[in-house]
């Protein structure tokens, strides 16, 4: 990943870098890997995430017309 610094605007480059890292899920991954997670706990967490994702998709799903 590369971030171009234009005109010595370091703050803007840092902001762009943070945004890109967040979009890729870097910070979430770092937080998740901070501690060891047992395989059983990992499995339960993934199932819960999938269920949350399914429910969210159902909320935003358009009603079907006959």
1 domain residue, yes or no? no
Element (H, E) at 21: helix 10-24
Range of the domain at 40: 10-60
Residue for token pair 């480059």: 13
State the first-to-last Cα distance of the chain, in angstroms, to the nearest integer: 48
Count of alpha carbons within 13 Å of 60, Cβ hemisphere only?
5
pTM passes above 0.75: no
42 domain residue, yes or no? yes
The yes-or-no verdict on residue 12 having pLDDT over 70 is: yes
51 domain residue, yes or no? yes
2 domain residue, yes or no? no
How confident is the model over 13-25, as a mean pLDDT? Answer: 93
18 domain residue, yes or no? yes
Confidence band of 63 (pLDDT split at 50, 70, 90): confident
Which pLDDT value is given to residue 8?
A: 87
Confidence band of 44 (pLDDT split at 50, 70, 90): very high
Positive or negative CA dihedral for 21, 23, 26, 28? positive
34 domain residue, yes or no? yes
| Rounded distance between C-alpha atoms, residue 20 and residue 12, angstroms | 12
Number of domains into which the chain is organized: 1
17 domain residue, yes or no? yes
65 domain residue, yes or no? no
């Amino acid at each position: 990943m590369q971030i171009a610094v234009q005109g010595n605007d370091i703050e803007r480059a840092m902001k762009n870098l943070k945004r890109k890292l967040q979009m890729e899920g870097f910070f979430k991954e770092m937080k998740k890997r901070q501690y060891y997670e047992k395989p059983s706990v990992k499995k339960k967490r993934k199932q819960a995430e999938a269920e949350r994702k399914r429910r969210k998709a159902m909320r935003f799903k358009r009603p079907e017309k006959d």
